[in-house]
Structure 1
């Protein structure tokens, strides 16, 4: 049985818009998985050190038969294929970051994976794109997304022009 999963996408190095477009294309090719929706691309300020470029962020909705651990491994493989280097610097610049935000109603904490994503409740670059895709969503602990959207400030989050995101147009055309 497929689980609806939401994936956070972020990049701020080596043409971040192109990195996200390439990641969306890779998500669409995952085995036993269907890419359902992708939010607009957003520009956001870096969370950590401010001496780095702004990020481009989005959220993708997938229906997948992969387990959460298999999905994590697949996302990490996509990151590596796109030049991701895992460094000790927390919240530093990166070519691509793919995070499992939600996996159905699963609540999981292991050394490798925490679902729901541990920081999603405070991150505007997650909450606003997620709300765009699923405004009626309720988190596994019963928190409605409508409540979080009222609590999380925009912090300079800006949608990029639609032209920066042809994958969204392609999905819309494919479904019509």
Structure 2
């Protein structure tokens, strides 16, 4: 009965308020006040990962009071509990597995852009083929079968991959 209310409160307390606080801190362009927010969002990310696993196991459906438990956890974390969780659990765990994490991140940095580019190409190719087929149907089927391949190849030659530029750690730069 109260599950929906608890979920709304969890979202307001755990997400909306910290988003605004983080944004206000970013607007100040000071880096030191961002440290607590970085810790908070790290712990919140861990909580989100745990919730994802609980959803896979259908625990919210079988555990009475799940939404209330989640709300209590979110309130605890948002009221400074993130500091203790980060210090006692997250930080030691990540330090122990830092070399493994670095290897995974480096591999993801190398493979990630290729995967994203391939996925984007597949999606755009399918869109081009679909639009070309639609155009063929609108023109009473007057196009040749090779027109589909020509459209895809023409689209590929016009795609440009943009490189991500790293920003300096000295100052936070926000675009207005």
Q: Which TM class, normalised by the smaller chain length? A: under 0.3
Greater share of residues in helix = 2
Q: TM-score, normalised by structure 1?
A: 0.25
Q: TM-score, normalised by structure 2?
A: 0.25
Greater share of residues in strand = 1
Q: Look at both structures and tell me which one has the larger radius of gyration over its CA atoms.
A: 2
